[in-house]
Amino acid sequence: MNDLKTLTDAIRAGSEVAFEAFFRAEFSNVAFFVNRYIHDRCQAEDIAQEAFLALWKHRDNLDTERNLRNYVLTIARNRALNWLRDVIARQGGTLEAHEALIHSRILQDPEVDQRIDALETEQMLARVFNSLPEKVREMFRLNREEGMTYTEIAAKHGVSTKVVEYNIVLALKAFRKALPDPDF
CB 20 within 8 A of CB 11: no
Same domain as 152, residue 100: no
pLDDT at 184 over 50: no
Q: Which of 86-90, 102-106, 166-170 has the lowest mean pLDDT?
A: 102-106
Structural domain of residue 171, as residue ranges? 134-184
pLDDT at 64 over 80: no
Q: Which amino acid is at 14?
A: G
CB 111 within 8 A of CB 37: no
Same domain as 118, residue 166: no
Calpha distance 131→65 (Å, rounded):
13
Same domain as 42, residue 29: yes
Provide the domain count of the chain: 2
pLDDT, one tens digit per residue, over 69-101 is: 888 998 999 898 888 878 777 766 655 555 555
pLDDT, one tens digit per residue, over 14-49 is: 999 999 999 999 999 999 988 887 878 889 999 999
Q: How many helices (H) and strands (E) does the chain have?
A: 9, 0
pLDDT, one tens digit per residue, over 109-138 is: 556 566 666 767 777 888 888 899 999 999
Mean pLDDT for 43-63 is: 92
The structure's pTM equals: 0.52
Helix, strand, coil percent values for the chain (each to nearest 5): 80, 0, 20
Could you tell me the CA-to-CA distances from 7 to 17, 20, 34, 89 in Å, in that order? 10, 10, 23, 39
